[in-house]
A = this chain, B = another copy of it.
Amino acid sequence: MIVVRFEPSGLRCHCEGRVSLLEAAQKAGVAISAVCGGAGTCGKCRVQVRGEVTPPTPVERRFLSAAELAKGIRLACQARPLSDVVVTTDTFVAGQILTRGVSRSVEIDPAVRKRWIELNPPSLEDNPFDWEDFRRAVGGELGGGAASLSFLRELPVRLRRQDFRGTYVAVEGVVIDFEKGDTAGEVYGLAIDLGTTTLVVKLLNLASGSVEAVASGVNPQRVYGEDVVSRIQYASASSRNRRELQRAAVGALNELIRSVQREAGVARERLYEAVVVGNTAMLHLLAGVDARYLAQYPYVPAFRGPLRLSAREIGLRIHPRGRVFLLPAIGRFVGGDTVGVLLATDFLQRERLTLAIDIGTNGEIVLGARGEAVACSTAAGPAFEGATIKHGMRAEAGAIDAVWLNNGDLSYHVIGGGEPRGICGSANIDVVAILLSEGIVETSGRMLPPQELPPSSSGDLRRRLRMGPEGVEIVLAEVGGKSITFTQRDVREIQLAKGAIATGIRLLLDEAGVKLQEVDEVLVAGGFGNYIRPENAIRIGLLPAVDPDRIRFVGNAALTGAEMALLSRKARQEAVRIAEKVRYLEIAASPHFQELFAENMLFPAADEVPAMWRPPR
């Protein structure tokens, strides 16, 4: 077991076997620009390593100078750790944004307060009351703050055991503990990304702001349905079901919490608060609140939030009187996760028009600048996550995650190397982009059968085309007599998904009365976004036709937003302001929706977009 620690995010990965630093980064949730998907052809995944790693490969010698190698600069896709190493990734744009968000522009001022106090021991002459005397000693920190009954029940014994001295702990003005000794420096909290598919738990030191540990896992609610609607339907059947789903999520979070605790060496009793981001449905399920009307016309969430819960009432294993803060939502399907993205990217303070896109089953899109913004959600469907694609799969070992033209034929990269088992989202986009640029798919989405191809087309590509059971298809790979194909129907799925997002962008631009050319920057959030090739995403019309240099991948900015809200009361207030200030546009209610959706289902013509992506030499 080798520990790879990434700077400056502080994220860590416990690796078994000889993984590359790129794979370790993916596991740790660190976004590293790997344009070629780890094929060793782009040379962009440069990192600086301290610690023992495998010697430079020929690929590295090609991209890096001897001086760079001497400084420990390596390609993450090539170098493999041989012992615990520290990897610095700060040359990467998204990494910088994540870092800037948390460590630079946020003044550390958490809602969790700890301070050493000494009380005068009570005397007969005074008129002492334990709680009121304690509150007076704490001072202005507590507004009209009452004690929880549970704390009040412990206080008298605690005061005397500690000789009327100790460190109080308060969260948002509510006292939750009075600890023996001066423990003011031992103050920790959790930032939690409660994804539909993936859970990430980060343990932060609230005094220094540093990330002490991170762990991620799969959301076990998946067994109740991949999509949130199935889960909501299950949860709505009975309050028993609701509790079951609630406990599933909390149980998995508790395992991750134990894991980060162990790694960071922090006791449960020192974790005072958790800030959670997630979409509206996931936050409802976490709180155990009925979400059935979010899944039925006219789609109404039970709450916007922010919601302040006690850890105990939802079963989260942090301090027994710890608090949980759920980031508020902007609208029914634009939830606390989007608020997190906007918080992390300082969205409302941006001077120039910005478009933020978080691509997932729902594509949440926000457009705005200078304190004004409008947001919408589009039902992109799970195509980009591989679910409705014939040989689609998640971005895990065995998945083809990048495809490119190489001397007139297709080349691809497989995560973890070895034989491919299927194709994941980023490669889906590559394939469609190639088929479009080679004239094999028309702008209407029709895939040409081999006999209709222009004579100029590549013979290698033509040979890969065939008629399958569902119409025309292209064979990407043959593995043990089985073909991995991409079919006409798959093209249609991608069309639907990209059409939904493109329609959302269109409607937001119309709503704001601006043109695409006026957009200064396009922020792409979410784990998926980090692995797509912007040129190809533009080629298929998923991302708008802007200069690829104006596209920035901001990684898991939702989680960054949670970290900021955990570290800073001001950031927390800003999150509340964002939720209230950003207008929600219900695109399904737009009279132009159907018309625009039909229009945006079409792929862009070749002259509407920049040149297609090719792996750099």
Task: List CB contacts (< 8 Å) of A281-316 with chain B.
Answer: 287-293, 297-304, 307-309, 313
Cβ-defined partner of A122 (8 Å) among B287, B300, B588: B300
Nearest chain B residue, comparing its CB with the CB of A132: B304
A598 at the interface (CB under 8 A from B): no
Please give, as numbers and ranges, the residues of chain B lying within 8 Å of A588 by CB-CB distance.
Answer: 124
**A298 and B586 contact, Cβ closer than 8 Å, known pairs A153-B290, A293-B160, A308-B146:** no
CB atoms of B304 and A124 under 8 A apart: no
CB atoms of A153 and B298 under 8 A apart: no
Please give, as numbers and ranges, the residues of chain B lying within 8 Å of A304 by CB-CB distance.
Answer: 129, 131-132
Interface size class of A (residues with CB under 8 A): 35 or more
Instruction: State the CA gap A255–B586 with chains docked (Å).
Output: 54
**A302 and B156 contact, Cβ closer than 8 Å, known pairs A149-B289, A309-B149:** yes
Please give, as numbers and ranges, the residues of chain B lying within 8 Å of A157 by CB-CB distance.
Answer: 290, 292
Cβ-defined partner of A149 (8 Å) among B124, B126, B313: B313
Please give, as numbers and ranges, the residues of chain B lying within 8 Å of A332 by CB-CB distance.
Answer: 127-128
A168 at the interface (CB under 8 A from B): no
Instruction: State the CA gap A301–B293 with chains docked (Å).
Output: 49
Can you tell how many copies of this chain the complex includes?
Answer: 2
User: What string of 1s and 0s marks CB contacts (under 8 Å) between A354-397 and chain B?
Assistant: 00000000000000000000000000000000000000000000
**A289 and B129 contact, Cβ closer than 8 Å, known pairs A124-B586, A124-B589:** no
CB atoms of A303 and B130 under 8 A apart: yes
Q: How far is the CB of A7 from chain B (nearest CB, A)?
A: 39
Please give, as numbers and ranges, the residues of chain B lying within 8 Å of A309 by CB-CB distance.
Answer: 149
Which of A129, A297, A589: most chain B CB closer than 10 A?
Answer: A129
Nearest chain B residue, comparing its CB with the CB of A329: B129
CB atoms of A149 and B287 under 8 A apart: yes
CB atoms of A586 and B302 under 8 A apart: no
Which of A153, A154, A155, A586: most chain B CB closer than 10 A?
Answer: A153
CB atoms of B155 and A302 under 8 A apart: yes
Please give, as numbers and ranges, the residues of chain B lying within 8 Å of A589 by CB-CB distance.
Answer: 124-125
User: What string of 1s and 0s marks CB contacts (under 8 Å) between A388-416 and chain B?
Assistant: 00000000000000000000000000000
A331 at the interface (CB under 8 A from B): yes
Which A residues fall within an 8 A CB radius of B?
122-132, 146-147, 149, 152-157, 160, 287-293, 297-304, 307-309, 313, 329, 331-332, 584, 586, 588-589
Q: A128-B298, A156-B289 are in contact. List 16 more A-B contacts (CB 8 A).
A: A122-B298, A125-B589, A126-B298, A127-B332, A128-B301, A129-B302, A146-B308, A149-B307, A152-B302, A153-B287, A155-B290, A155-B302, A156-B291, A156-B292, A157-B292, A160-B293
